[in-house]
Chain A
Amino acid sequence: MKYISREALQTWLDRLANDVTLIAPRLVDDILLYQSVSSAREIVLDYTRPKMSAKEVVLPSSEPILFVEKRGQEVSLTEPSSGAQIIFGLRPCDAHGIAVLDTVFVGQEPIDLNYARRREAITLIGLSCPQMREDCFCTSMGGMPNDPTHFDVLLTEVEDGYAVNTVTDKGRTLVDHLNLEEIKGEPAEPIINETESVLAQEHWPDLFADHYWDLLAERCLECRMCAYLCPVCRCFDVQDQVTQQGISYSKYDRLRCWDSCTGTNYRVVAGGHNPRATKGQRLRNRFFCKFHYFPVEYDHSGCVGCGRCIEACPVNIDIVEVMRDISRAFNASQISNASPDAEKGVTA
């Protein structure tokens, strides 16, 4: 494995910032976010986890996916373009999240052209986590704090610099001309927490009708914070917005914007019917999507264990606690299906 010194890294990052759009952990009004930087100086290297995931880079919170122009009777359509972007300092859970989004948007036909166009021009340079935070559980979701799998290049801090693990050809073209030296020792192993395991997806339907979801949802505020901070939640809404309207000339943007199943009106259909009429049904969908629907469809968890929703939820809806409760409830139901407690839900 190669090695890059701290000074050489700064020089390299300065050059990248000059050549392409470089996105890296940066303080914005004291909040750490993955955002574009104009020089290496702006980049924070000593951090645990930015407040938001890097999802916004591949799937912006709101983006035009089509521009429509109408001149007289003539209609012209233009698709947006996107330039080269490099995300530096990405954590393994966030790269894992992007890999999961890739599965959804470009993993099978028909692919999402807009996503594909942007994603193709993005290179991922990661930074291993030296240790897991208390609310991290990537190891429950098949990840590791130093997992190189989903990166083009992964850096891991060593004394006086970083070990450089070049994973893909895309990464190789970036790193090759850097004249890096061979590393002397191996980087230290990260400090791992013991984490909860998730109930196998095939067992989740047994708990679909459990009263647990209604009880859990009592304190849910039905905001969308958990979904918007999540590296994997990818639901969106599409609307056409008029940007200019005249007799002979009009312009419209077709916009795609984040949406979330925890919102009250997410599932409302024409005529006003809401198939997920209760809070419990809506919150249940969040967890079933991650641990049942997604695994069934893609053979992979819909959660990467970054822990952001745990940290941010103002009413302590804790996904790890839910995983634990559901496993316990399932195990209890296996021991005795006829237990009178089953009626009351798992927390009763």
Chain B
Amino acid sequence: MTEFTLQDQIRDRAKQLLASEQVKCVIGYEHGSRGQVRPAFIHQINDVDSLVWNQGCTHNLVTYLRDIKGTFGSDEHLQRVAIIVKPCDSRALNVLLAEKQIEREHIYVIGVVCTGIVEGAGYAGQSSDKLQTRCVRCSDRVPVIYDLLVGEPTHPEITDDYVDLTELEAMPPAERAAFWLKQYERCILCYACRQVCPGCYCSTCMFERDDSLWVGIAAGVKEKEAFHLGRAYHLAARCIGCDECERVCPMELPLSLLNHKLAKEVQRLFHYCAGDEPSQSPLATMLAEGEEFPA
């Protein structure tokens, strides 16, 4: 099935949903100002034909549900939104559902069978033919949640051996700490990593309280380290690995390494993979009586 027909199917369904007033908005992708793809919010049928689907659709649109979750009213039908998700994005939906951030009936999910997103996607003139690292290692082709599935599922056999982590894990602790401090030093605390993350929905981030309770206001390497490590821990067993934090970072911090490390440990300890099911993270639950911490 070609990309053209996937795009056509998305547009057709978007038209139906808006025409029948089943949704008030379709969150998808459109062409940006300089040839790149960007998130689009389609409110009117006339605008549906600007929706696109191609290998530049990198953004995890689930993050935008944070902005509109307070807008759902009593008239549910009219207030629903449709959202286009790739398999990775769809797992963020499961996280938000489990954490009661969204209600299933408030969203209409257009799931797209995904064969990978290219590097440089989202930025003008930077798109390449090469798939993003996260996509090379991803064997998911079908979203875990959808109301409409667009595309023909395939079942590739790919096993992720976390090769990028092996090198880092092999470093002596002091060397590893030095590596990370050098990365954090470049951080400009623009918080794009947090803002783009569907899992970061706190209304006041603990690392940015007015009273500086946990982290001071200074842009020093200690503050940056506290922010990045703290954020990584808060996302342990919740991060679904879309790597958007790494894509948006203007200073190119390899943030996915932190997240993958934690995902790997969670998998090893709890046999749990964030977003596979709409279930709470094992780190946010308690052991039942008689239950033991897994070996």
What is A's interface to B at a CB cutoff of 8 Å? 28-31, 51-52, 61-62, 134-135, 215, 218-219, 221-225, 228-229, 237, 239, 241, 253, 255, 257-258, 263, 265, 279, 310-312, 314-316, 318, 320-321, 348
Which residues from A are CB-within-8-Å of B40? 219
Return A295 CB to nearest CB of chain B, in Å.
Answer: 24
Hey, which chain B residues are within 8 Å of A253, CB to CB? 218
> 19 A-B Cβ contacts within 8 A?
A31-B251, A51-B251, A61-B189, A219-B38, A219-B64, A221-B192, A221-B195, A225-B188, A225-B248, A228-B189, A241-B212, A255-B216, A255-B218, A257-B218, A263-B191, A265-B208, A316-B124, A318-B34, A320-B33
List 17 other contacts, CB 8 Å, given A29-B182, A223-B190, A316-B36: A31-B252, A61-B189, A219-B39, A221-B195, A223-B194, A223-B195, A225-B248, A229-B188, A239-B216, A255-B217, A258-B189, A265-B208, A314-B196, A314-B247, A318-B33, A320-B33, A321-B33
Contacting residues, chain B, for A321 (C-beta < 8 A): 33
Which of B32, B208, B210, B250 is within 8 Å of A318, CB to CB?
Answer: B32
Nearest B-chain residue to A133, judged by Cβ: B125
A221 touches B248 (CB 8 A): yes
Interchain CB contact under 8 A, B44 and A348: yes
Q: Which 3 A-B pairs have the closest CB atoms?
A: A223-B192, A62-B219, A314-B248
Q: A218-B41, A228-B190 are in contact. Are A223 and B219 (CB under 8 A)?
A: no
CA distance A258 to B219 in the complex (A): 9
B111 contacts the other chain (Cβ, under 8 Å)? no
Binding site for A on B (CB under 8 A): 32-34, 36, 38-41, 44, 47, 59, 63-64, 67, 122-125, 182-183, 186, 188-192, 194-196, 204, 208, 210, 212, 216-220, 244, 247-248, 250-252
Taking a contact as CB atoms under 8 Å apart, the answer to whether B218 and A241 are in contact is yes
Selected contact of A134 from candidates B64, B123, B125, CB within 8 Å: B125
Contact check, B192 vs A225: say whether CB atoms are below 8 A apart.
yes
Q: How many angstroms between the C-alpha atoms of A133 and B41 in the bound complex? A: 30
Contact of A314 among B47, B122, B189, B204 (CB under 8 A): B122
Complex Cα gap A225–B195 (Å): 11
A239-B217, A241-B218, A316-B33 are known contacts. Are A224 and B252 too (CB-CB below 8 A)? Answer: no
Known contacts: A241-B218, A320-B33. The answer to whether A135 contacts B196 by CB under 8 A is: no
Q: How far is the CA of A228 from the CA of B218 in the complex (A)?
A: 15
Question: Smallest CB–CB gap between B188 and chain A, Å?
Answer: 5
Contact B33 A28 (CB under 8 A): no
Interface centre among A28, A52, A215, A314 (most CB of B within 10 A): A314
**Which residues of B have CB within 8 Å of A52?**
188
Rounded to whole angstroms, the CA-CA distance of A258 and B208 in the bound complex is: 13
Min CB–CB distance A142 → chain B (angstroms): 23
Q: How far is the CB of A225 from chain B (nearest CB, A)?
A: 4
A29 to B253, CA, bound (A): 10
Which residue of chain B is the closest to A51 with respect to CB atoms? B250
Contact between A134 and B124, CB atoms less than 8 A apart: yes
A311 contact from B123, B186, B196, B218, Cβ within 8 A = B123
B33 and A311: CB pair below 8 A? Answer: no
Task: With both chains docked as a complex, state the minimum distance between the C-beta of A18 and any C-beta of chain B, in angstroms.
Answer: 25
Residue of A nearest to B188 (CB): A228
**Of the residues A218, A222, A257, contact of B219 by C-beta under 8 Å:** A257
Q: Across the interface, do A221 and B63 meet the contact criterion of CB distance under 8 Å?
A: yes
A61–B221 alpha-carbon span in the complex (Å): 12
Listed residue (B63, B123, B220) with the most chain A CB atoms within 10 angstroms of its CB: B123
B contact residues around A279 at 8 Å (CB): 67
Note all chain A residues with C-beta closer than 8 A to B67.
Answer: 218, 279
B9 CB to closest chain A CB (Å) equals 23
List chain B residues, Cβ under 8 A from A265: 204, 208, 210
List the B side residues contacting A134 at CB < 8 Å.
34, 124-125
Interface pair A225/B41, CB less than 8 Å apart: no
A241-B122 contact, Cβ under 8 Å, with A28-B186, A219-B40, A225-B190: no
Docked Cα-Cα span, A28 to B248, in Å, equals: 18
How far, in whole Å, are A61 and B224 apart by their CA atoms in the complex? Answer: 12
A348 to B188, CA, bound (A): 36
Find B217's partner among A224, A237, A315, A320 (CB 8 Å cutoff): A237
Distance in Å: Cβ of A181 to nearest Cβ of chain B: 40
Residues of A within 8 A of B210 (CB): 265
- Name B41's closest neighbour in chain A (CB-CB): A218
Contacts of A29 in B (CB 8 A): 182-183, 186, 252
Closest chain-B Cβ to A258's Cβ sits at a distance in Å of 7
CA of A134 to CA of B44 in the docked complex: distance in angstroms? 32
Q: Which of B32, B122, B196 contacts A223 (CB 8 A)?
A: B196
Bound complex: CA A321 to CA B252 (Å): 26
Query: Is the beta-carbon distance between A315 and B59 smaller than 8 angstroms?
Result: yes
Give the CA-CA distance A28 to B63 in the complex, in Å. 31
Could you tell me if B34 and A225 are in contact, using CB atoms closer than 8 angstroms?
no
A244 to B120, CA, bound (A): 46
The answer for the CA separation of A320 and B44 in the assembled complex, in Å, is 25
> Chain B CB within 10 Å — which of A225, A237, A253 has the most?
A225
In the complex, what residue of chain A is closest to B38 when comparing beta carbons?
A316
CA distance A29 to B196 in the complex (A): 24
Chain A residue with the shortest CB-CB distance to B216: A241
B210 to chain A, nearest CB (A): 8
> Which of A62, A223, A258 is close to B248, meaning CB atoms less than 8 Å apart?
A223
Asked if residues B32 and A316 are in contact (CB atoms below 8 Å), the reply is yes
- Bound CA span A198–B122, Å: 26
Task: Closest A residue to B253 by CB, please name it.
Answer: A29
A200 to B128, CA, bound (A): 39
Q: Which residues of B contact A28 (CB under 8 A)?
A: 186
